[in-house]
Amino acid sequence: MATNRRPVRRARAMRVFRDALLTLPLLIFLVWTLLPLTWSLSASFKPVLELYMRPPTLFPREFTWANYQAVFAFPGFPRFFLNSVLLAVGSTLMAITVSTLAAYAFARYAFPFRHLLLLSVLVPRIIPRAALVVPLYGLFANLGILDTYTVLLVSYTATAVPLATWILTGFIKGIPESLEESARIDGANLFHVLYYIVLPMAWPGLVTVIVVAAVQSWNEFPFVLSFTNDATMRTLPYQLYLLRDSLGIQDWSLINAFSIVTIVPIVTVFLIFQRRVISGLVGGSIK
């Protein structure tokens, strides 16, 4: 009996060891990700002087809402929030429109160098943003659209279209062409095919593209920093960057509260649609 139990114990020990190897990196990554966010959230509820006390504490000794009240009362905060919302929504809608048409062309039309062109679509994603700022600044200055919503909408949309096109191309390829052919026989034009067949069946990919484009636009910083000087054009990430320079002695409690307010809307959207986003990314890459 003892001899028979040894292989079972050895297999059980190997299973525990394997699970530990798989779990340990996940725990390290979880701590690495959540610890800064937890510290920032805790600091946002502390009086500013408490952050300079030693030894530091993870949880507030004195809990206060004053930092969040100061954020919402900050001069221009409603305008900064509105700018972020308008730019995120506007650029996402534009990116969806452009990438849907481009993805349909790549998925359905056999034109020369189609695969090479689809690969080249991702080139702007490879080039660092800092390398794009100078040539784009010269282009937008010649067009006379600096310090406008137009320059930000165009630049935000251009950065969202490549990945969106790749994702939607995979989903549209997975839609049977026979459905579109049947619709055309019944008299449907291209707009009807896209609106009534392609978009509903590619809905998981559309949700993925919408969330990814919205997150990217909401967090965008280099373009708004480089292409705007007017204070009324600032977004929440831009104003967050300016806080450290404008406050003199650093009010880290206020800065952390502003950070939390900035990320909460987009984190909430991502958490609501996270399953669809993950399945959409995986599904689009497989298809």
Q: Are residues 191 and 267 in the same domain?
A: yes
**What is the residue whose two structure tokens read 């490549």?**
162
Instruction: Tell me 197's DSSP state.
Output: I
Same domain (yes/no): 32, 98: no
State the pLDDT at residue 62.
Answer: 86
Closest C-alpha among 64, 104, 274 to residue 193: 104
One domain, residues 119 and 190? yes
Is 101 found in the same domain as 14? no
Output the pLDDT for position 149: 93
Do 32 and 128 sit in the same domain of this protein? no
The number of folded domains in the chain is 2
What's residue 198's pLDDT? 86
If asked whether residues 112 and 205 sit together in one domain, one would say yes
pLDDT at 248: 59
In a domain? residue 177: yes
Give the Cα-Cα-Cα angle 129, 154, 229 (nearest 5 degrees).
Answer: 70
CA gap 253, 261 in Å, rounded: 12
Task: Say if 55 falls within a structural domain.
Answer: no
Same domain, residue pair 194 and 85: yes
Q: Are residues 37 and 162 in the same domain?
A: no
Burial of 210 (C-beta count, 10 Å sphere; 0-12/13-18/19+): buried
Query: Cα 126 to chain center, whole Å?
Result: 16
Estimate the crossing angle of helix 149-173 against helix 129-143, to 10 degrees: 120
Domain presence at residue 232 = yes
Q: Is residue 234 part of a domain?
A: yes
In a domain, residue 52? The reply is: no
User: Closest Cα to residue 47, out of 30, 64, 31?
Assistant: 64
| Residue 206 in domain | yes
Task: List, in sequence order, the alpha helices (H) in 44-76.
Answer: 66-72
By residue range, what is the domain housing residue 24?
A: 2-43
**What pLDDT score does 236 carry?**
92
What is the Cα–Cα distance from 251 to 282, expressed in whole angstroms?
42
Residues 19 and 108 in one domain: no
User: Tokens at residue 268, please?
Assistant: 């909430």
Output the domain CATH number for residue 276. Answer: 1.10.3720.10
Instruction: Say how far apart CA 148 and CA 139 lie, in whole Å.
Output: 14
> Are 21 and 139 in the same domain?
no
- pLDDT at residue 279 in the model: 61
**CB-based contacts of 170: which residues, under 8 Å, 6+ apart?**
205, 283, 284, 285, 286, 287
* pLDDT reported for residue 286: 47
Say if 170 falls within a structural domain.
yes
Write down the pTM of the prediction. Answer: 0.82
What is the pLDDT, as a whole number, of residue 95?
93
d(C-alpha 52, C-alpha 46), whole Å: 11
Give the model's pLDDT for residue 167. 87
Residues 88 and 181 in one domain: yes
Do residues 270 and 277 touch, judged by C-beta distance below 8 A? yes
Q: Is 59 contained in some domain?
A: no
The residue behind tokens 């946002």 is 44
Residues 121 and 231 in one domain: yes
pLDDT tens for each residue of the chain, 287 residues long: 455 566 667 767 677 777 777 788 888 888 888 888 888 898 899 888 888 877 878 888 888 899 999 999 999 999 999 999 999 999 999 999 999 999 998 888 887 888 788 878 777 778 888 888 889 999 999 999 999 999 999 999 998 998 889 888 888 888 888 888 888 888 888 888 888 888 888 888 888 889 889 989 999 988 999 999 888 899 999 998 888 755 556 788 889 999 999 999 888 887 887 776 666 555 544 44
CA distance 100 to 196: 14
Number of Cβ within a 10 Å radius of residue 261: 19
